[in-house]
Amino acid sequence: MSATDTRIWRQATTVAAINAQSQNTLAATLGMVVTELGDDFVRATLPVDSRTLQPFGLLHGGASVALAETVGSIAANLCLDPATHMAVGLEINANHLRAVRSGSVTGTARPLHVGRQTQVWEIRIEDDRGRQSCVSRLTLAVVERPH
């Protein structure tokens, strides 16, 4: 990494590669798709449809949390050497700020702390009109990969 490189990732990857890894997972079942990998953020979308609604016709809070944990975990693991370490969730919280009834939501994960033993990520979720519907904070432990 050069002195002018602002990317925080320790792994070279692409959006297509990340989405391919999500096949046969909760993310794929719910329709999550990573759409952008910036220098210091990961962005993904989630459809608001029959898979993600609660009985009152609103986006289920658990679906928002699943999006937050997915995009935050992807980002956290991109900051690590995958041959030796991985990040695993310790705690997640979410504040649901606005109901969403249709369309899709977009979650963007940005780091608050990327340390050797823990990481903390903030995930902001917005509706199709750019209105914030949820804010979440994900704390992960950095652990050695089993041999």
Provide the annotated active-site residues.
69
Beta strands, E only, the chain: 33-37, 42-47, 85-96, 104-114, 118-127, 132-144
- Phi/psi region, residue 76 (left: phi>0; alpha: psi -120 to 50; beta: rest), is alpha
* E strand or H helix at 71: helix 61-78
Which residue, among 123, 100, 109, 94, has the nearest Cα to 52 in the 3D structure? 100
Q: Which residues have CB under 8 Å from 41's CB, separation 6+? A: 75, 108, 109, 110
Cα gap 57→16, rounded to integer Å: 31
Q: Provide CB contacts within 8 A for 147, sequence distance 6+.
A: none
